[in-house]
Amino acid sequence: MGTLVTLLSGWGRYPVQSCELERPERYADLRANADSVIARGQGRSYGDSALNENGRVLLTERVNRMLDFDTEQGILRAEAGTTLAEILPVIVPKGWFLPVTPGTKFVSLGGCVAADVHGKNHHHDGSFGDHVLALEMILADGRRVTCSPEEKPELFWATVGGMGLTGIIGAVTLKLVQITSAYMKVQNRAADNLVQLFQLLQNENVQERYSVAWIDCLASGDSLGRGVAMFGHHASADHLPPSLGNPLATKPAKSRALPFDFPGWVLNSKSIGKFNDFYFKREGGKQRPFLSAYDAYFYPLDGIGHWNRMYGKHGFVQYQCLIPDAQAYEGIKALLEELSASRRASFLAVLKRLGAQGSGMLSFPLAGYTLALDLPMRDDGLLELLTRLDEIVLRYGGRVYLAKDARLTAESFRKMYPRYDEFIAVKNNVDPDNRFSSSMSRRLGIAGEAT
Amino acid sequence: MNNPVLILGATSAIARATAGAFAARGHAIYLAGRDMDELPRIAADLRVRHGIEVRYGTFDAEATDTHAAFMQSVIDEMQGLSGVVLAFGYLGDQIAARDFSVGAKVIASNFTGAASILSHCANYFEPLKSGFIIGISSVAGDRGRQSNYVYGAAKGALSLYLQGLRNRLFPSSVRVITVKPGFVDTAMTYGLPGLFLVASPQDIGERIARAPEKSADVLYLPWFWRYIMLIIKHIPEFIFKRLKL
């Protein structure tokens, strides 16, 4: 089978590294046939977790067969390369939905498991791994094994959130959730500052299945943390206007792609400030609940292909961190103050309340608040700012999300992920020679050794 | 079953995309190939995505003595066929030109095996006075080049065979369509240097499934390959023999 040596990057387009790509089309060709291999689905992690500088990257995009769909029980089994975008039009018309979805549907099942992704419903439903009934894996020695919360649970929970470092995820069995319509009932609430925003997320959270808040992170002083909290739940078919027709019908969404890289100056604190004012008035002004098609609600940016080009050719870093509940307000406030003082505008800033910690050893979510920032990569000053943000996160006992990360240090990583020792015990067992390794695993010093 | 289509050589990326495009139009599908790990996976996928009936079974293009029985079993199982797509092929490599034992395999698969199974297909459709036979040949069959002339010769022979078959079956209203893909983004071409204008298998599959509704007998895919090959075919031999193609 042919391989292709090429420059590769994650969704943030930073860093860019030379990797050797292999793209199997047969299930049997999913295997570690190089000294260092990492699987890559849609390349939607932001940093270097699906990069392998001077090593092998195994593209799973063509190993994307749906193997079984039990429409009675709502159980789907599919190969790891299958994307959520492929799954939705199959399951929604049958009255089922993804139990957890990240903010884009152009991600593979394997990637969702490896990053143990969360959605706007984490406080209600946990993360992706909580709904995986079983995984079929291909291990370093070529064995195919099945693991689940009951069978080989250590391997299972090391793989959920394990960034592809325990083996190749071959197939995923997923439990879906029932819906009666393809629509969401959405309610926006504006908050003039961070105190109000926290109150909104705390109170409403209990009832609403989905919640998330957009923050204007250029606002400072008394307005620091002003934003719009957005709540939603799956609309019941009984409450839809009959004019919508079949409540479960899915319409193919129109998509347009950014055809070229924006020049670096397009996004600056002035243009982003203007946008933020506009967005705050528009979204915050929506007083009454409204209906939204699931696609527009969950995947607003999927309508613009290659939106990452907006940040110019140098790419951007998405910094996503969380602060545990106890000091969440103080921690998030400190982060926003640091950001505001730097006058580096984040085009997208999202605040989300997370529920209880799951069982994945390297999974990101735990009870607290997570803040995500998109920051254009212009100069080294950004990396210095992010290091200062790391220090704040560490001070408040938080952590940084590996699926977004491109620059955390090994030292900070160890402090943020206290279950690392458990993870590495499993890794020593199934992959002592570190055949599954990535640019990220080398940067963070995630490596097993023969015992 | 609903207008069943037989896909011969069903595990390649083009074949899978073609099966998917026919399935999206509601056709029942029979997947034939050698890889019994892959066939059930592709079959399951077509069922889940398109809610159609799919069957699969072993087919070896080179085992020509099994073809008659194979064809009969497919017809029995699907209760008839409305069309066939011949999608198998074997590229071999440069050695095929120097080592005839490799070259023989390229010819046995791409031409001899194809001619064998096509004869059974033709004999089935001719008395029905309906149906279609789509043969996936290659632009490589349009002119012999040093880089892959054994493969090119076998595909060129297949193109000629399909041409004759089209002539024979025209009075019986059976469509015979020759498809000549250019570079397609598949395992066959992945990582090869010097490719240009590479098409996606989905695009090619969609065009192939559309072909029975259209009138073209010979389909270059994507369309511009017709003009690229027109130029290549018209380069005088005394120049062509000097080229490194």
What is the 3-state secondary structure of chain B?
Answer: CCCCEEEECCCCHHHHHHHHHHHHCCCCEEEEECCCCHHHHHHHHHHHHHCCCEEEEECCCCCHHHHHHHHHHHHHHHCCCCEEEECCCCCCCCHHHHCHHHHHHHHHHHHHHHHHHHHHHHHHHHHHCCCEEEEECCHHHCCCCCCCHHHHHHHHHHHHHHHHHHHHHHHHCCEEEEEEECCECCCCCCCCCCCCCCECHHHHHHHHHHHHHCCCCEEEECCCHHHHHHHHHCCCHHHHCCCCC
What per-residue confidence (pLDDT) applies to A171? Answer: 98
- Indicate whether A431 belongs to any domain: no
Q: How many other CB atoms sit within 10 Å of the CB of residue A432?
A: 14
- Indicate whether A436 belongs to any domain: no
Of A1, A3, A25, nearest to B13 by CB-CB distance is A25
Choosing from A179, A206, A240, the residue where a domain stops is A179
Question: Do residue A385 and residue A352 come from a single domain?
Answer: yes
* B148-153 contacts, C-beta under 8 A, 24 or more apart: B148/B91, B148/B92, B148/B94, B148/B96, B149/B97, B150/B92, B150/B96, B150/B97, B150/B103, B150/B106, B150/B107, B151/B90, B151/B91, B151/B92, B151/B96, B151/B106, B151/B110, B153/B107
Distance between CA A407 and CA B226 in Å, rounded? 50
What per-residue confidence (pLDDT) applies to A189? Answer: 92
Question: Do residue A118 and residue A193 come from a single domain?
Answer: no
- Indicate whether A167 belongs to any domain: yes
Residue A333: closest CA among A217, A203, A190, A183: A217
Q: Which domain holds residue A157?
A: 66-179
Of B35, B42, B190, nearest to A2 by CB-CB distance is B190
The one-digit pLDDT tens for each residue of chain A (451 residues) are 689 999 999 999 999 999 999 999 999 999 998 999 999 999 999 999 999 999 999 999 999 999 999 999 999 999 999 999 999 999 999 999 999 999 999 999 999 999 999 999 999 999 999 999 999 999 999 999 999 999 999 999 999 999 999 999 999 999 999 999 999 999 999 999 999 999 999 875 557 899 999 998 888 888 888 999 999 999 999 888 888 888 998 776 666 677 777 777 777 777 878 888 888 888 888 878 999 999 989 998 887 778 788 788 888 889 999 999 999 999 999 999 998 888 777 777 899 999 999 999 999 999 999 999 988 887 778 899 999 999 999 999 999 999 999 999 999 999 999 999 999 999 999 999 999 999 999 999 999 776 5
Question: Do residue A219 and residue A322 come from a single domain?
Answer: yes
What per-residue confidence (pLDDT) applies to A340? Answer: 83
Residue A210: closest CA among A404, A358, A353, A359: A353
- Indicate whether A126 belongs to any domain: yes
What per-residue confidence (pLDDT) applies to B96? Answer: 67
Q: Is A69 on the interface with B (CB under 8 A)?
A: yes
Question: Do residue A149 and residue A91 come from a single domain?
Answer: yes
Q: Is A282 exposed, middle or buried (0-12, 13-18, 19+ CB in 10 A)?
A: exposed
Interface test with A, best of B16, B37, B45 (most A CBs within 10 A): B45
- Indicate whether A119 belongs to any domain: yes
Question: Do residue A203 and residue A332 come from a single domain?
Answer: yes
Q: How many other CB atoms sit within 10 Å of the CB of residue B104?
A: 15
Question: Do residue A109 and residue A223 come from a single domain?
Answer: no
Distance between CA B80 and CA B82 in Å, rounded? 7
What per-residue confidence (pLDDT) applies to B61? Answer: 96
Choosing from A179, A195, A215, the residue where a domain stops is A179
Distance between CA A369 and CA A201 in Å, rounded? 10
Q: Is A252 on the interface with B (CB under 8 A)?
A: no
Residues of A in contact with B187 (CB under 8 A): 1-2, 23-25
Nearest-Cα distance to chain B for A94, in Å, is 11
What per-residue confidence (pLDDT) applies to B106? Answer: 93
Question: Do residue A161 and residue A198 come from a single domain?
Answer: no
Residues of A in contact with B48 (CB under 8 A): 66-69, 90
- Indicate whether A44 belongs to any domain: no
Nearest-Cα distance to chain B for A154, in Å, is 28
Choosing from A126, A159, A179, the residue where a domain stops is A179
What per-residue confidence (pLDDT) applies to A205? Answer: 53
Of B13, B189, B191, nearest to A62 by CB-CB distance is B13
Which tokens go with B198? 């590479």
Number of domains chain A contains: 2
- Sketch out chain B's domains with CATH numbers: 5-240 (3.40.50.720)
What per-residue confidence (pLDDT) applies to A352? Answer: 94
Question: Do residue A273 and residue A360 come from a single domain?
Answer: yes
Distance between CA A43 and CA A218 in Å, rounded? 30
Question: Do residue A259 and residue A140 come from a single domain?
Answer: no
Q: The tokens 């260092």 sit on which residue? A: A36
Q: Is A66 on the interface with B (CB under 8 A)?
A: yes
Which tokens go with A99? 């139990």
Question: Do residue A338 and residue A272 come from a single domain?
Answer: yes
Cβ proximity of A43 and A24 under 8 Å: no
CATH code where residue A80 lies: 3.30.465.10
What per-residue confidence (pLDDT) applies to A251? Answer: 72
Residues of B in contact with A24 (CB under 8 A): 187
CATH code where residue A237 lies: 3.30.70.2520
What per-residue confidence (pLDDT) applies to A255? Answer: 65
Q: Which residue of A has its CA nearest to B20?
A: A65
Question: Do residue A169 and residue A187 come from a single domain?
Answer: no
Distance between CA A119 and CA A353 in Å, rounded? 10
> Could A3 and B191 be called an inter-chain contact, meaning their C-beta atoms sit closer than 8 Å?
yes
Question: Do residue A203 and residue A286 come from a single domain?
Answer: yes
- Indicate whether A441 belongs to any domain: no
What per-residue confidence (pLDDT) applies to B10? Answer: 97
Mean pLDDT of successive 10-residue segments in chain B (245 residues)? 96 97 98 97 98 98 97 97 96 77 92 98 98 97 91 96 98 98 90 86 97 96 94 94 87
- Indicate whether A120 belongs to any domain: yes
Q: Which residues partner with A145 through β-bridges?
A: A137
What per-residue confidence (pLDDT) applies to A28? Answer: 96
Q: The tokens 């193919």 sit on which residue? A: A252
